[in-house]
Amino acid sequence: MKELGIGIVGGGYMGKAHSAAMAAVGTVFETALKPRLEMIAATMPESAERYRAAYGFVRATADWRDLVADPRVEAVVIASPQDTHREIAEACFARGLPVMCEKPLGVSLADARAMVAAAEASGCANMVAYNYIRTPASQYARRLVAEGALGRITWFRAEHVEDFHNDTDVAAWRYQGRANGCIGDLAPHIYNAALALMGPVAELSARIETVHAERGGIPVTNDDQVQMMCRFENGAMGHLFSSRVATGRKMGYAYEIFGTDGAIRFDQEDQNALWFYDASDPPERRGFRKILTGPAHPDYLAFCKGPGHGTGYQDQIIVEAKDFLTAIERGEPVWPTFRDGLEVRRIVEAAYASDETGTWVSVDEF
């Protein structure tokens, strides 16, 4: 058993989630590396100290550079805004520190490429924090697809829809700047899911829309929703949709996969169940069956021995922490690496280009 000094940059919503995960992962998964909450960084000394006391860190700082330079910090989680990702990551890799970075990588394709180059030149463990795809149900869905249980895949439909920006009377920072729009902030989750389940996207045709042009009396400069048709490199067609103004949906991270021999349905609002259709069943028994996750499914047993008891949002972050520690311990890449995160960014950039030109575009162009 070896302790590992963890530094986390950012103490807000995701900073808290990652802090809690690092505090719990050694017990939940009995990892060989035991995280020690060494230092947390926030923008103000008062907030940094508040996070330190609340989350259990040894020390706090108002300057992330102090955290990166500290010899007792041995791995870093970046949970700060996108426009800070690149500089922090490059500083970490220059010092030889493993990094897990919140999604998406930076604010641009150039940022993402630079972060990948720095990560790979350093040889350090690197990972992007896409948590939703790590539910036991979605991990099992990936296994079913990979094992050929659905036969040849013919169609993929996925969406990430929520309604947290339905209130048009409020002006907020999220309504300004391309990176803070739906395609820059929410949609990357479902693009990551598409890549995980289906593999690379070959070409796409996208439309990006600002539903509410003004919020709280202030013009909106980014988008509320985006949809695209696409063709994957495996030949299957697909449709991807994301919206932050989908009335009534709270965590509509959902997908359907159709193959020649079967099909899958999943919805994150019921994250402990996977619906599976087996075309080889006799006619009188054909129909979608509900599979409740349990100890037989990936990463479930560490949390609970009872089938159907379920896992939750914070558990996904703990699974991420376990995977990050595994990458550090073994010195081997654990999906999704920064290069995998770059693939998401390429889809985003291709979607912007398609929307601007009104044409199908090849993702390889980006």
Task: Count other C-beta atoms under 10 Å from residue 281's C-beta.
Answer: 12
Assign 310 to helix, strand or coil: coil
Stretch(es) of the chain classified as CATH 3.30.360.10: 136-311+344-357
Amino acid 327: pLDDT: 98
The per-residue pLDDT for 11 is: 95
d(CA 222, CA 10): 24
236-267: burial string, b at 16+ Cβ within 10 Å, e else: bebebbbbbbbeebebbbbbbbbbeebbbbbb
DSSP for 108-173, please give it: SHHHHHHHHHHHHHHT--EEEE--GGGSHHHHHHHHHHHTTTT-SEEEEEEEEE--TT--TT---G
What pLDDT, on a 0 to 100 scale, did the predictor assign at position 1?
66
Start-to-end Cα distance in the chain: 43
pLDDT given at position 210? 98
Residues of the chain with CATH 3.40.50.720: 2-130
pLDDT at 322: 98
* Residue 204 one-letter amino acid: L
Residue type, 326: T
Residues belonging to the chain: 366
pLDDT along the chain (366 residues), means of 10: 94 97 98 98 97 98 98 98 97 98 96 98 98 98 98 98 92 89 96 98 98 95 98 98 98 98 98 98 96 98 97 98 98 96 98 98 98
Q: What is the CATH number of domain 136-311+344-357?
A: 3.30.360.10
CATH number of 2-130: 3.40.50.720
Which pTM does this prediction carry? 0.96
